[in-house]
Amino acid sequence: MTSKDEPRSREAVKAALGAQTVETPSWAYANSGTRFKVFAQPGVPRTPFEKLDDAARVHAHTGVAPAVALHIPWDRVDDYGELAAHAAKLGLRIGTVNANVFQDDDYRLGSVTNPDPAVRRKAVRHLLDCVEIMEATGSRDLKLWFSDGTNYPGQDDLRTRQDRLAEALRTVYDRLGDGHRMLLEYKLFEPAFYATDVPDWGTAYAHCLQLGPKARVVVDTGHHAPGTNIEFIVASLLRAERLGGFDLNSRFYADDDLMAGAADPFQLFRIMYEVVRGGGLTPDVAFMLDQCHNIEPKIPAIIRSVMNVQEATAKALLVDPEALAHAQRTGDVLAANGVLMDAFNTDVRPLLAEVREEAGLDPDPMAAYRRSGWAERIVSERIGGEQAGWGA
Amino acid sequence: MTSKDEPRSREAVKAALGAQTVETPSWAYANSGTRFKVFAQPGVPRTPFEKLDDAARVHAHTGVAPAVALHIPWDRVDDYGELAAHAAKLGLRIGTVNANVFQDDDYRLGSVTNPDPAVRRKAVRHLLDCVEIMEATGSRDLKLWFSDGTNYPGQDDLRTRQDRLAEALRTVYDRLGDGHRMLLEYKLFEPAFYATDVPDWGTAYAHCLQLGPKARVVVDTGHHAPGTNIEFIVASLLRAERLGGFDLNSRFYADDDLMAGAADPFQLFRIMYEVVRGGGLTPDVAFMLDQCHNIEPKIPAIIRSVMNVQEATAKALLVDPEALAHAQRTGDVLAANGVLMDAFNTDVRPLLAEVREEAGLDPDPMAAYRRSGWAERIVSERIGGEQAGWGA
Amino acid sequence: MTSKDEPRSREAVKAALGAQTVETPSWAYANSGTRFKVFAQPGVPRTPFEKLDDAARVHAHTGVAPAVALHIPWDRVDDYGELAAHAAKLGLRIGTVNANVFQDDDYRLGSVTNPDPAVRRKAVRHLLDCVEIMEATGSRDLKLWFSDGTNYPGQDDLRTRQDRLAEALRTVYDRLGDGHRMLLEYKLFEPAFYATDVPDWGTAYAHCLQLGPKARVVVDTGHHAPGTNIEFIVASLLRAERLGGFDLNSRFYADDDLMAGAADPFQLFRIMYEVVRGGGLTPDVAFMLDQCHNIEPKIPAIIRSVMNVQEATAKALLVDPEALAHAQRTGDVLAANGVLMDAFNTDVRPLLAEVREEAGLDPDPMAAYRRSGWAERIVSERIGGEQAGWGA
Amino acid sequence: MTSKDEPRSREAVKAALGAQTVETPSWAYANSGTRFKVFAQPGVPRTPFEKLDDAARVHAHTGVAPAVALHIPWDRVDDYGELAAHAAKLGLRIGTVNANVFQDDDYRLGSVTNPDPAVRRKAVRHLLDCVEIMEATGSRDLKLWFSDGTNYPGQDDLRTRQDRLAEALRTVYDRLGDGHRMLLEYKLFEPAFYATDVPDWGTAYAHCLQLGPKARVVVDTGHHAPGTNIEFIVASLLRAERLGGFDLNSRFYADDDLMAGAADPFQLFRIMYEVVRGGGLTPDVAFMLDQCHNIEPKIPAIIRSVMNVQEATAKALLVDPEALAHAQRTGDVLAANGVLMDAFNTDVRPLLAEVREEAGLDPDPMAAYRRSGWAERIVSERIGGEQAGWGA
């Protein structure tokens, strides 16, 4: 597909939608919550294997969610090969491996940027372990999000922490295998409240440039300051060939982690438009969900999120590139905006139903899941054991 | 003290500082954290009684922290009279009673605004129980913060939830005893991420007006949208005689709950200036801390916060009302701002050291606490049992 | 139409859309800009009469824009009766009268809250003059927006300014005739940068309560802090019977004054949903545009804005109240959100085309305007004179 | 001075303060305002020469403001050599040359990123003219701020605009002489309201990296999203050796352009601390004011701003590096924060008075200016002509 000039046929749009994949996160199938309360849900998985079972249902009904992200240690198992085999058996594959260096008491003052070199070594060891897990599971991408930062001015030296960060990233980068990539995530704040060590795309980008071509930036749609134009960042990173992927979710306020497309569907459309326009609708860019469903049931919420991403993508694909380019070139502000809005205002649900039916799927994934009995089954079967959750 | 016109003598300022009290929250002595991790600290209290023991140390070193806020059920005991007696023995008193209707599975979709009337009844019963605890402990103020709200547009009816809220508040208000007050807190967001049922001072104020004179608004300094001028709200509520008190803490981003005065000492000064100017430096306005110390030791962090409040108050008291009024009246923008800044730029630490010494205290509370050995003692003595924390 | 329980038939939806009116602002037809530059456009009106001529074109093509807001002194004429007659001849009427007490050198430090009583008197006199213009033009609503505020802490006394404001509002309120209303607007900031005297809905609401039943709050969609849930305010004001109307426009950052519905069409839909749900789709609530078209041509930008409001309203009317209420009552978060999103995701352009055709209008107002030749005509005919603009 | 390890003696602090310079902007001496109103002030300059006369008064009273920034075309003169000579005669020098490509009707849709190549060429020509003015005036730094951006999604292609920007910057960069630098400024929004072409430090930094070592980033303290940690950016740019300088001013909300240090003196201190810690208190970093005094008199407002910068710098210099490093190394959060706060809480006005007296200046610049009679003199002498202002 050309990126910018030719109008897309309905068939081309459908082909692009059929080829799109959305990676779902293992942790979204487990219990989660806010700092105030984790509301446990009946039937949530107790093991990484059960998380994959649930993910398989999302893929079964949507047809576009074959990859599942792991979070280590939340998804720690004795035999990662067995986990990957379980995924394969379910028609799934392991997506990104997400390192977690924020839930050990040692990390109170940071992980790879901790003032204590022993803690930094421990954190780096965990990251290197994650590379081993990538090898064992066939994962391509190591996703790094650091909660590192400080709560008070003066607490630690901002610049020295960047030096420590650069050193740790270098060590891990050098350990990556052929075909591996490092995806570096940024986040404005939380859990650090004064300064976060990778707070914005500029910081992530600068580190990636230093590291080399395998290092790419991840855009989490919930990790920006109010008012940030996220699609501009997406366009810039695609232009610089440094967009590694997305953590999709919704926010009204902070890192709310609501379902993707729930809070601002127009924004998600604008982001997907820049993806399409910048040639980013390829496997080089990982479209991951990263969200928490605190009050709604897990699996249907993920299905809805996947569908919301598909709808935004469909609308983005429907933008008429020729008409848009003409209006832009001639400085016709209203016409150019109108071309974009025509696509956004289109009801793409029938088109996506068609895509699904042609792929042998039910046109309505939500209803199909409801009818499947899976929700009732996991509630009745998953008795005993400890439910998975953040920190579990 | 006159509120606006006469310059204050050094003695008057010292007297006002000596008379000020800051209420500390029982939960700030216990473990707390973010949704990502609670970092346990050695020596934190295991019971409400031990929380009071720690609060007594803050009062011993600062001389201005005799009241301690309870949080029910975090501070549930069999005999509240015994708890109040323990406080009295330590030279303390029970301050506000804080209701908690957000940590039960039933409250997943809200408490007093829940669509299910049975849940609403349960929540109201808890609030009425809190009034009983007020009676048992001699507390004057019932502080109500509701986490109620919705995460998704359409999830529930915004207006009906206001009706339910009004009904619940009325029931509780009517149960208040003579001398009791209801303090209604507002918060922009978290844990609700789409709409919060009491999101701003306007909503809290409107409900208080409906309820009657015992209902007052609480201003938590961390609960506003970015850019909100908090001191304006304080001035407005004092003008309307509806300011019930403060939950003091610091924020850079959201409800960060850092030490009061840590993030923006100039803002805290401006707030205290409006308090002084509006005649709010009286027992009618409760100056409460409400903060979480996730990474720093609890007791010294609270001492530091109390001192920060004192310093802001001292600076506010030093503003020359006559000079300010003259500059304001004549429209001399730079001079008027200069009068305020002169007070803010003054180093008031010597003045506060004097106040402390005259009250028979060590001029340096932080150092005195350090030397007291309390920190070491609680680490060695508080062995076994379960540490108190949010939700415990 | 019932407000909440019965599903609306297609005919009922069309009837509601046909009955809706959107008031357009005279100043949106004139030149405007940012503090950096006003880009003049050929053909913009030179007089209030020509502004009405342009407004008549918007009404001619949309059929729902019969009212035009005046801004005094921008629309000062010798004979307001003549202006109203000109409007009537064009099938229009005069909507709100907007007072302007911010563009005179005397107002450097405020108008009705200025420390100088002579300036306050001058400002109040202007407001009273506006009431006379209401009488001369048959306008119902006096719309008051005050730029009053301070740029620096200490510059003036926040509380005294509220007293002055209350006094001025009282004087004007008492002068209102039968059938007149006072609409009080709030705005977070700009042009005041430290404290604005009416910064939020709480302040506006409190003053309206003091004044009496003719005083109502205006919600300008661009005048809030980041993250503010505007539809919650709308629902609250409707519940309190104090919603006077809207100033509709779009913002990404501050008071950007872009076309209504351009920045966040989902937000506009949510607002219109609360309007419909709260019984606000009546002449009691004035739906006004208040926006600036700095770089795009004026008239088609206003037509597009009117259409955007209509589309949001249509979607709001399509929400199935019964299905929504059922899902809300049963706590089915995903289903309830789904009912709302079904309406939002519907392409309502065909429905609105039908509404227009049944009213004898072209189904595509933008194309009809383009074909009308009006744009070319005003460029060629409006030669000489001084173009109208802010401050002119 | 070493940057981090040794405590500074009082003499070293005084020497550093004596060596600091603050560049004042020619446009701050002229009339300015908001989009709503420019309040003219009596006595403001009518020519660039008179602006220099006023700037000389600021330097005379503060001793640290020898450089004056020009803004072209606002400061267009026939003979720039003559202007530089006038500066020299007054003991001043020309600081940055600021290009202005936003106030011509051709720039309605952008300057160097305009879709029309003819407009882009015109804009680049202006930038090249500015390099000539640098040569004629002996200026070292070309400061580039672009208002370029779009108001509506779809209006123009975000990525293509980056290509155009890169091309224009390259052309100008290649024209710089030896010893010249290009300072690239970023700004979140205004006057563009959807997407700005250089919205954040990441974008500016990426372009500077592409251009070469003469290109550096300018941090305007008012140009960030709410919540942005500006001192982190400063530390990062110093670490990357790409910090070119500052545009200092204050904001509560957006680009308010209030006096530096007026809105958040603690933030200014934190910024200056990172400057000192990162070795940035050298002539390589230009400390410029860029602010508008809309309601207060120009010259004393600038004197106050210079003093505020000095006070923040003095406090930053007083931080005890050894004590801080020790507390940071040992993870003592409260102690580390305490070291920083000790410096901030110090009243440095006596120290700065000493610095001034030792330099032969009045210890109180505000009072000295007031007594000088200059304010009265310019009001009486600057009669006739046209007052300078934005756009004039």
ipTM: 0.97
- The whole-number pLDDT of residue A189 equals 98
Q: Which residues of C touch A253 (CB under 8 A)?
A: 227
User: Domains along chain D?
Assistant: 21-311+364-381 (3.20.20.150)
Decide if D297 touches B, using CB distance below 8 A.
yes
pLDDT in tens, D8-35: 899 999 999 999 999 999 999 999 999 9
**C24: buried, middle or exposed (CB in 10 Å: 19+, 13-18, 0-12)?**
buried
pLDDT in tens, A203-240: 999 999 999 999 999 999 999 999 999 999 999 999 99
Residues B144, B111 contacting (CB under 8 angstroms): no
The DSSP secondary structure of D62-125, one letter per residue, reads: HS---EEEEEETTT--S-HHHHHHHHHHTT-EEEEEEE--SSSGGGGG-STT-SSHHHHHHHHH
| pLDDT reading at C2 higher than 70 | no
- Are residues A265 and C334, on separate chains, in Cβ contact within 8 Å? no
Residues B29, B300 contacting (CB under 8 angstroms): no
- The whole-number pLDDT of residue D390 equals 77
What is the pTM assigned to this prediction?
0.98
- The whole-number pLDDT of residue B392 equals 45
- The whole-number pLDDT of residue D230 equals 98
- The whole-number pLDDT of residue A5 equals 55
pLDDT in tens, C198-236: 999 999 999 999 999 999 999 999 999 999 999 999 999
Interface test with A, best of B252, B257, B290, B304 (most A CBs within 10 A): B252
- Are residues B206 and C201, on separate chains, in Cβ contact within 8 Å? no
- The whole-number pLDDT of residue C284 equals 97
The alpha-carbon gap from A141 to the nearest alpha carbon of chain C, in Å, equals 32
Instruction: Write out the H or E segment, with its range, that includes residue C72.
Output: strand C67-72
- The whole-number pLDDT of residue A391 equals 57
Residues A328, D157 contacting (CB under 8 angstroms): yes
The alpha-carbon gap from A40 to the nearest alpha carbon of chain B, in Å, equals 8
- The whole-number pLDDT of residue A274 equals 98
Residue-averaged pLDDT of chain D: 96
**Which amino acid, D59?**
H
The alpha-carbon gap from D392 to the nearest alpha carbon of chain A, in Å, equals 28
pLDDT in tens, C56-113: 999 999 999 999 999 999 999 999 999 999 999 999 999 999 999 999 999 999 999 9
pLDDT in tens, D316-361: 999 999 999 999 999 999 999 999 999 999 999 999 999 999 999 9
Cα B70 from Cα B48, distance rounded (Å): 8
Q: Which residues in chain B land under pLDDT 50?
A: 1-4, 392
Decide if C392 touches D, using CB distance below 8 A.
no
User: In this structure, how many other beta carbons lie within 10 angstroms of the beta carbon of residue D213?
Assistant: 10
Contact map slice: A 228-257 vs C, CB within 8 A: 229, 252-253
- Are residues C206 and B116, on separate chains, in Cβ contact within 8 Å? no
Distance of alpha carbon D140 from the chain centroid: 14
With contact defined as 3+ CB pairs under 8 Å, the chains touching D are A, B, C
Interface test with D, best of B292, B295, B303, B341 (most D CBs within 10 A): B341
Decide if A227 touches C, using CB distance below 8 A.
yes
- Return the beta strands (E) in chain B as ranges: 24-25, 67-72, 93-99, 141-144, 149-150, 181-185, 195-196, 215-220, 243-248, 286-289
CA dihedral D288, D289, D290, D294 (to 10 degrees): -170
Decide if B328 touches D, using CB distance below 8 A.
no
Label residue D6 by pLDDT band (50, 70, 90). Answer: low
| pLDDT reading at A97 higher than 60 | yes
- Are residues B236 and C206, on separate chains, in Cβ contact within 8 Å? yes
pLDDT in tens, C328-347: 999 999 999 999 999 999 99
Both tokens assigned to C128? 């009273």
pLDDT in tens, A20-52: 999 999 999 999 999 999 999 999 999 999 999
Share of chain C above pLDDT 70, in %: 98
| pLDDT reading at C319 higher than 90 | yes
Q: Count interface pairs B-C at CB distance under 8 A.
A: 161
| pLDDT reading at D367 higher than 60 | yes
Q: Which residues of B touch C194 (CB under 8 A)?
A: 229
Q: Mean pLDDT across the stretch A119-145? A: 98
The beta-carbon neighbor of B36 closest among A147, A226, A251 is A147
Interface test with A, best of C258, C259, C270, C333 (most A CBs within 10 A): C333
Decide if D331 touches B, using CB distance below 8 A.
no
Cα C248 from Cα C246, distance rounded (Å): 6
- The whole-number pLDDT of residue C252 equals 97
Q: What are phi and psi of D215, to 5 degrees?
A: -95, 130
